[in-house]
Amino acid sequence: MIPLKENEIQLMRSAGRLAAHILSEVGKMVEPGVSTNKLDQAVHELTVSLGAISAPLGYKGFPKSVCTSVNHCICHGVPGSYILQIGDIINIDVTCIKDGFHGDTSRTFYVGEVSERAKLITECAYKAMLKGIEQVKAGNTTGDIGFAINKYVTRKGLYPVLEIGGHGIGKNFHEDPFVPSHGKKSKGELLQAGCCITVEPMINETSAPIKEFDIPDSEIKYYETSDRTFSAQFEHTVLIQEGGCEILTLPETPFEVGY
């Protein structure tokens, strides 16, 4: 982890703001009858029109400009011909590159009216992310973040995904450290002021094992719950500071969870 210079921090702020804007815009398109390909196309066009690059496109062979993970898909869902249906939940994960720096953010959206089960898991994922972000300050550790997430989620009777998590971010999409959704206080990597990480817990309804799937011609895998129960996720990119952090991917207008 190498702290960024002040001008690089400004570029991370711009990239983060842009990713948040793109996510908000594509989120407005979520409704029954829309295909995930349509969302991908919109992300791609908006990103290019804003003078940025979609980071997923071609990243380790990933074929699309955004990840769309529906219902039991945990993450890295590949947009395709699937048509959103009433009752679905969909995580849209936007990462853009602006002036060489990455902004990475995701939200889970409701498709029309959804079940109480869907709302429970989605709200839990959002609050778990906030609990993790509360721990982000210089001198704390990745274990502190994971501990806080795990504690919140398990008290709700739900399950954080242990194998996948957040990451350092900057000039590269994925950098050290790994940011887990479980852990021990004071363990793991020390958080340093001036570095950026993502906090992006994935939360499952059950403890069923997760299943890994290949994406053709890509090193990236996508993941599903093996019992096909719901999984939800939210993600922010944050700048570590002394005594706290700055969320770089806040949207211009605050959102209600799921919308």
Q: Which residues bind ligand MF3 (CB under 6 A)?
A: 56, 59-60, 62, 67, 76, 93, 95, 104, 167, 198, 200, 220, 235
CA distance 103 to 93: 11
- Nearest approach in angstroms of CB 167 to ligand MF3 is 6
Nearer to ligand MF3, 104 or 144 (CB): 104
Residue nearest to ligand MF3 (CB): 56
Count of residues that bind Co ion according to CB under 5 A: 5
Beta strands in the chain (DSSP E): 53-54, 67-70, 73-75, 89-98, 101-110, 159-160, 166-168, 175-179, 196-199, 202-204, 210-214, 221-225, 231-233, 236-241, 244-247
Subset of 80-119 contacting Co ion (CB under 5 A): 93, 104, 106
- Nearest approach in angstroms of CB 145 to ligand MF3 is 15
Question: Per 3-state DSSP, what percentage of the chain is helix, strand, and coil (rounded to 5)?
Answer: 30, 30, 45
DSSP string spanning 173-201?
SSEEEEE-SS--TT-SPBP-TT-EEEE--
Q: What tokens appear for 228 in the block?
A: 């096909």
Q: Which residue has the tokens 């939940």?
A: 89
- Nearest approach in angstroms of CB 200 to ligand MF3 is 5
- Residue 198 is a binding residue for Co ion (CB under 5 A): yes
Nearer to ligand MF3, 138 or 220 (CB): 220
Nearer to ligand MF3, 178 or 185 (CB): 178
Choose from Co ion, ligand MF3, none: what does 56 bind? Cβ within 5-8 Å by kind.
ligand MF3
Nearer to ligand MF3, 164 or 191 (CB): 164
- Nearest approach in angstroms of CB 193 to ligand MF3 is 23
